[in-house]
Amino acid sequence: MDALIHIIETYGLWVVFVCVLLDQGGLPTPSYAPMIVTAALAADRSESLWPILLVATIAATIADVAWFAGGRRFGAQLLRLMCRISLSPDSCVGTTRRIYEQWGAPSLILAKYIPGFAAVATTLAGQAGTSWRRFLIYDGIGAALWASGAVILGAMFHEAVGALLQTLEDLGHLALLLLIVAIALFIAYKWWQRRRFLMQIRMSRISTDELRALLQSMPSTVVLDARTAESRAQSGWIPGSVQVGDISQLQLPSDGEIVVYCDCPNDASAATVARKLKERGFKRVRPLAGGLDAWRAQGLPVDQFLDPAAS
């Protein structure tokens, strides 16, 4: 623990830069605590706090720019990769998309205060075609506010932080062991949370070929679109599909075939809607494997609003 404190005292700005960059880059690396400790130590020595704020803001912005550029270039592919390697449930993408579509780029100001929102939001901003100028303005404001919170906490409670560091120093190797155990428990909890969610949405899927054949043989088949109205208008929809609003308001046949689709990783939103319908007594409900992306990849028709300016 002495060595850790010495590193922060000697290379505080580098510690802050690396920790923030890794954290905002998606790795489970603590960044807020190093910022608080570095600010507290600077306050004890009556040093300026502005360099800490500047370095943390720059590091966070660099990571966000990488996610934003990736979203512009790879879009849904990057989102699926993020959910595959993330410990957060895949539902975070659907939740983040709804927030971003409602508030747009200004939502980036508070993105870092919402667990699981920041990296996904910046990627969605790129996928949505947000301009670089708007992104950098709002993301920069958000990064500065987020970093300033840690710096202010460190400066205000520098005596308490100093007392805590002294306690950790007295504990010696035990403090390091407790820190490792705490990190391990956090990762285990996030893994369990994701595992539980994947178990909840585990059910049989219907393929695009099967759905096409089903629609030809049973035209009464109900196809539900689990995406937001904004996503539906932006990227189109499977012909004849109905956008899911309030499930309780849907008029559905109790014994008919129902297929639900989305455009999210692991068909998370579609599977969640399908599970809720099953709980309401609908037996023949299945999510579409691969969602709209799989349907479009097969060259199957997609309806979309016509742009009046193009006509």
Structure confidence at residue 176 (pLDDT): 66
Question: Which position has the token pair 């370095």?
Answer: 55
Structure confidence at residue 211 (pLDDT): 92
Structure confidence at residue 308 (pLDDT): 37
CA R_g for the chain: 24
Range 208-304 classified under CATH 3.60.20.30: no
Structure confidence at residue 86 (pLDDT): 55
- The pTM assigned to this predicted structure is 0.61
Region(s) of the chain under CATH 3.40.250.10 = 208-304
Structure confidence at residue 309 (pLDDT): 37
Structure confidence at residue 90 (pLDDT): 47
Residue 188's contacts (CB-CB under 8 Å, 6 or more residues apart) are: none
Structure confidence at residue 143 (pLDDT): 94
Instruction: Give the whole-angstrom CA distance, residue 185 versus residue 269.
Output: 28
Structure confidence at residue 87 (pLDDT): 46
Q: What is the pLDDT along the chain (311 residues), one digit of tens a residue?
A: 455 566 666 777 899 999 999 888 877 777 888 899 899 988 988 889 999 999 999 999 999 999 999 988 887 677 666 665 554 544 556 666 677 767 778 889 888 887 666 777 888 888 778 899 999 999 999 999 999 999 999 999 888 877 766 666 666 667 667 767 877 887 777 777 667 766 656 678 899 999 999 998 888 899 999 888 777 887 889 999 988 877 777 778 777 889 999 887 777 788 888 888 888 888 889 999 888 888 988 889 898 864 433 33
CA distances (Å), origin 71, targets 48, 64, 79, 117, 195 = 36, 10, 8, 14, 26
